[in-house]
Amino acid sequence: MPAQVGTATHCPYCALQCAMTVTAGAGSVRGDTGRHDDATIAGRDFPTNRGGLCRKGWSAADLLRHPDRLTAPLLRGPDGVLRESTWDTVLPLISQRVRSIQAEHGQDAVAVFGGGGLTNEKAYTLGKFARLALRTSRIDYNGRFCMSSAAAAGKRAFGVDRGLPFPLADLDDASVVLLLGSNAADTMPPFIQHLRGAQAAGGLIVVDPRRSATARLTGQGQGLHLQPTPGTDLALLLGLAHVVVAEGLEDRAFLASRTRGYEDAARELARWWPERVQAVTGVPAPLIRATARLLARGARSGTAGGPGAYILTGRGIEQHADGTDTTTAAINLALLLGLPGTAGNGYGTLTGQGNGQGGREHGQKADQLPGYRGITDPAARAHVASVWGVPEVAIPGPGLPAVELLASLGRPDGTRCLFVHGANVAVSAPDASAVIAGLESLDLLVVSDFFLSETAALADVVLPVLQWAEEEGTVTNLEGRVLRRRAAVTPPAGARSELWIMQELARLLEAPSVFSEDPETMFDELARASAGGPADYSGLDYAVLDGGSPAYWPYPTGSTGTPRLFLDTFAHSDGRAVLVPVTPRADSAAARIPAPLLLATGRLLEHYQSGTQTRRVPELLAARPGPRLDLHPATAQGLGIGQGDPVVITSAHGEAQATAHLTPDLRQDTVFLAFHFAGAGNANLLTGGPTDPVSGMPEFKTTPVRVTCRTARTRRDGQAQEVYA
């Protein structure tokens, strides 16, 4: 039998979008699903991963043949049980229910929640579907929980948001890299090879309250680890910037020729001398000065043509109610040093979800139209309306950001019907108990997924859709590089593309414009809709992407793309970047005296997002089978908690259960819980509260909690009794 030819594609997980080859075996087709049982994965040489994959990527094929795979629509019966149905039954039912709900409660009673893992074609079509087929303004997506603060900060500083405005491989030549709030060694392991140069030069600087796997890379003279109190990153960044200005380390020529706002920003910095910052953050003043000086030396070297300096931010400083201001402080520091738009130096933010970059560019955000256009901009509305072939008035105005949208579920004047695509909000959203209650109170919940996620299990209708290796499409990785994702295996006979689903529902709802199940058709329309916008894809099509040359946006017609943004100009009308003065709020974690025990949530090496996929891979689940609360041994001793004890974590929003893991790798005022687990171990039962006023980002990293030991004892009547120590 001849060897099977592999299909070149990309990993379904993080925004590194590691290249891989998927080979479908010739035999062993299971049942009547048309699905190969023996697909295999191999790493493929590519600039971001250079042939490497993490354990999630290596095991991704397990999901293609998983017994939990949904292969037929599910419909909830009068008895409350989900049972298999047919497409001919569920799609007309959905359209009828949408019409009746909107007739009774108004157009915005129907809402859509999307995801940063959807292909560009699906994200684009979902935004169009919401606005033209459902005729609602209410659409947002789970990237609001991930990248929204960095996006808002980038837009106000640079005029545009692209995670990394330079190719990832540029980091290889850096002598100094400041990494704030990212545990990339666990979340995107192949990324770490790009930090080896900075490590070798002793210039890797990691800011994290935990001594994470990434922070441990700074050991043995390879760099510095700064361990601030959770929620005080903004003060720390102001302290670093203070040293740069006070010691004359700023790039004055760059500031004069390429920025504005220096005077106002510098005036605010005067109040944040290192000793004051030490009192707020717990980071020693000498270490603050040493960090600022190391960054400045690297920046000067990069400007002179040597190995330079880069500042990179991640979710740890962005997932706060002041995440936009904190990320802005990081950008201000980078601008003071002359890093953005300078060859050999740079600033960027590490996108998390697989298509987190493309997913926020083309219309599934509440306030945006395709091409990263503002939905209230008359010119943007007119352009998109012309591409869609509808009058401008047919496009609704801005909707609600994710937290507000989810808070409206089930309310009499709120959302009565919700479509969910590529998200598992019952696990991933803050204040999960309230979200679950809202989902249960809806008149109609329609979830598209390939597994019965915790959100899908609550749905009235579940639509089985295709997975990453079963469909064609594109994604945009953390560098702004547009990539082809290719079909490699045959999908189950009963599953359908989300593009097909939207096409059929748009037809039933008598929507104007074109909705096509062909991804190339929708990509070509996306390119036209994005033309002239900040994220311009108009020069791209599948032939260009299949040609093998790197394709970085903006890629207007007639160009060859833009690997490095800002080399000549920033995206504001005057061509300058903006330093925006920021200061910690009075109600921030930095102002809590004495500081409470603070919960930080985050990711593990073995799992991804809400765990819907990775908790179904046996080897990944075996490595991390359930929720584990990390806490310092001294903290645990004071609470009477031992290694492996069952614990209850309580916040103002609810309580969760986990197993105690004692480790000296985090501060005594900090506990850590991963957010990949459902049920009683759901970390987002604890989170909630205020959101960032600019980005709508929830507070995920500084939730005050109480931790108690949970033990099981037997009462005299022989029944188990929960006792809290």
State the Cα–Cα distance between residues 272 and 266, nearest whole angstrom: 10
State the Cα–Cα distance between residues 301 and 309, nearest whole angstrom: 8
First to last CA, the chain: 65
526-536, pLDDT tens digit by residue? 999 999 999 99
pLDDT reported for residue 160: 96
pLDDT reported for residue 485: 95
**pLDDT band per the 50, 70, 90 thresholds, residue 588:** low
Nearest to 596 by CA among 690, 703, 698, 689: 703
Q: What is the mean pLDDT of residues 498-521?
A: 98
pLDDT reported for residue 30: 33
pLDDT reported for residue 595: 52
pLDDT reported for residue 622: 94
Q: Hey, what are 262's tokens?
A: 């220096």
Which region among 26-30, 105-109, 399-403 has the lowest average model confidence (pLDDT)?
A: 26-30
What angle separates helix 519-530 from helix 378-388, to the nearest 10 degrees? 150
**pLDDT band per the 50, 70, 90 thresholds, residue 712:** very low
State the Cα–Cα distance between residues 463 and 441, nearest whole angstrom: 20
| pLDDT greater than 50 at residue 392 | yes
Strand, helix or coil for residue 543: helix
Q: Hey, what are 521's tokens?
A: 């058709």
Residue 149, H or E segment: helix 148-158
Cβ neighbours around 183 below 10 Å, total: 22
Nearest to 23 by CA among 50, 69, 60: 60
The number of C-alpha atoms within 13 Å of 515 and in the hemisphere containing its C-beta is: 28
State the Cα–Cα distance between residues 27 and 39, nearest whole angstrom: 10
Mean pLDDT (the chain) is 93
Residue the block writes with tokens 């929720």: 627
**pLDDT band per the 50, 70, 90 thresholds, residue 31:** very low
CA 156 vs. chain centroid, Å, equals 20
| pLDDT greater than 60 at residue 36 | no
What does the radius of gyration of the chain's CA atoms come to, in whole angstroms? Answer: 25
How, if at all, do strands 309-313 and 346-349 pair? Answer: parallel
SS3 content of the chain, % helix, strand, coil (to 5): 35, 20, 45
Going from the N-terminus, what domains does the chain have, and what CATH number goes with each?
7-65 (2.20.25.90), 74-146+356-546 (3.40.50.740), 148-350 (3.40.228.10), 589-724 (2.40.40.20)
Strands in 706-714's sheet, in edge-to-edge order, are 703-704, 598-602, 670-674, 628-631, 655-662, 646-650, 706-714, 720-724
How, if at all, do strands 29-30 and 35-36 pair? Answer: antiparallel
pLDDT reported for residue 486: 95
Nearest to 583 by CA among 232, 91, 204: 232
SS3 string, 420-439, reads EECCCHHHHCCCHHHHHHHH
In percent, the amount of the chain with pLDDT more than 70 equals 94
| pLDDT greater than 80 at residue 718 | no
Q: Hey, what are 676's tokens?
A: 């990949």
Is 187 in contact with 213 (CB distance < 8 Å)? no
Which region among 210-224, 312-326, 486-500, 707-721 has the lowest average model confidence (pLDDT)?
A: 707-721
205-218, pLDDT tens digit by residue? 999 999 999 999 99
pLDDT reported for residue 166: 97
Q: What is the mean pLDDT of residues 71-88?
A: 98
186-197, pLDDT tens digit by residue? 999 999 999 999
Distances (CA, A) of 37 to 57, 388, 489, 495, 496: 17, 41, 10, 17, 19
Is 443 in contact with 93 (CB distance < 8 Å)? no
| pLDDT greater than 70 at residue 34 | no
Strand, helix or coil for residue 356: helix
Is 645 in contact with 639 (CB distance < 8 Å)? no
Is 109 in contact with 97 (CB distance < 8 Å)? no
| pLDDT greater than 70 at residue 67 | yes
The number of C-alpha atoms within 13 Å of 475 and in the hemisphere containing its C-beta is: 31
State the Cα–Cα distance between residues 621 and 632, nearest whole angstrom: 25
Q: What is the mean pLDDT of residues 560-569?
A: 97
Q: What is the mean pLDDT of residues 2-26?
A: 85
Residues with Cβ within 8 Å of 101's Cβ and at least 6 positions away in sequence, in order, are 109, 110, 416, 417, 443, 444
Q: What is the mean pLDDT of residues 560-582?
A: 97
Residue at 567: amino acid letter? L
Residues with Cβ within 8 Å of 413's Cβ and at least 6 positions away in sequence, in order, are 105
CA 516 vs. chain centroid, Å, equals 27
469-488, pLDDT tens digit by residue? 999 999 999 999 999 999 99
State the Cα–Cα distance between residues 13 and 356, nearest whole angstrom: 10
Nearest to 545 by CA among 525, 561, 564, 526: 561
**pLDDT band per the 50, 70, 90 thresholds, residue 594:** low
| pLDDT greater than 70 at residue 125 | yes
pLDDT reported for residue 352: 85
